[in-house]
Structure 1
Amino acid sequence: MSNFQFGAHALQASQVFFQTRLSFAFVNRKPVVPGHVLVSPRRVAPRFCDLTAEEVSDLFLTSQRVARVVEKEYNGTSLTVSVQDGPDAGQSVPHVHVHILPRKAGDFKRNDDIYTELEGHDKTPSTDVFRSIDDMAAESTRLEGLFIGDS
């Protein structure tokens, strides 16, 4: 795997579990629910409308492919698929990304509470609340294996 940039953040290759020519999927350093992953275009583009038509197509086809695998792997019954486009929409990293969250009945008291959690999940100033590189690498390796032979 090559180097991956997520906004100003250089990702460890071990965090990335799936990639195409234009997009990549990676595990989340602070997931809202188990299996909460991100899909992003390779090119750092701050806003959704900054993407080319080819990038949009690949981003959403990749998101769909990843979503199928993640929902099954985490025994989800539904998915929340979300794009926070710009800081006033809750985007904390100025690089387009799709949140994919496998959902189950009763995972939140009120179903829409997931959006409140999503808005603040990575804004805690202390880094000790984030997952370890080893933990993220283990999840990434497990997920990567689910795409072998997948077409």
Structure 2
Amino acid sequence: MVYKFGPWGIDASEVFVETSLSYAFVNYKPVVEGHVLVTSKRVAPRCVDLSAEEILDLWTLAHRVGPGLESLHSAESLTYVIQDGVYAGQTVPHVHVHIMPRKPNDFQPNDVIYDRIDREDHASRKVDAEKERKPRTAEDMAREATMLRKLFEL
């Protein structure tokens, strides 16, 4: 099965948990170890395009995924990010939540993490995060998703 993420397909091997309306998958270019995405199954460019039921389902799944990642990665906090529209830094026209396990001093200053997520703003802040964020192989992503699937099995 192929899931849609904006104009792209996400292979089922990269998905680790799903509901009837949402799914969570591993990130091709993670900012931190454990960085995943949660998105709606229906391609909707902006939050306003989702139904109330889809919004509730998306955040309920994010609420479930976050603590599992925090525990798995021995993190002490989580960063949840939604960029809602092009001018907010959204690069894929499909509502999605970034979930990133956070550890003490992983970014100095702390808000640099947002620069790493927001590609459009990198030129103005002189942060070349794309060179630092290495794409992963399909095999690496499938391996991570398999491990996460076990964590989120009921």
Taking structure 1 as the reference length, the TM-score comes to: 0.92
Residue identity matched to 2:46:
R
Match of 1:54, SS state, is: helix
What is the aligned partner in structure 1 of residue 125 from structure 2?
none
Distance 2:71 2:117 in 1: 21
Is 2:133 the partner of 1:134? no
In structure 1, list runs of 5 or more residues that go unmatched: none
Match of 1:145, SS state, is: helix
Cα root mean square deviation, aligned:
1.7
Is 2:52 the partner of 1:53? yes
Return the offset for 1:147: 1.3
Residue identity over aligned pairs, in percent, reads 50
Match of 1:146, SS state, is: helix
What is the aligned partner in structure 1 of residue 153 from structure 2?
148
Residue identity matched to 2:153:
I
Residue identity matched to 1:9:
W
Q: Which runs of structure 2 are paired with 1:1-151 in the superposition (5 Å)?
A: 2-120=1-119, 124=130, 129-149=134-154
Return the offset for 1:28: 0.1
In structure 2, list runs of 5 or more residues that go unmatched: 123-128
Residue identity matched to 2:147:
R
Return the offset for 1:129: 3.5
Residue identity matched to 1:94:
P
Match of 1:93, SS state, is: coil
- Count residues in correspondence: 145
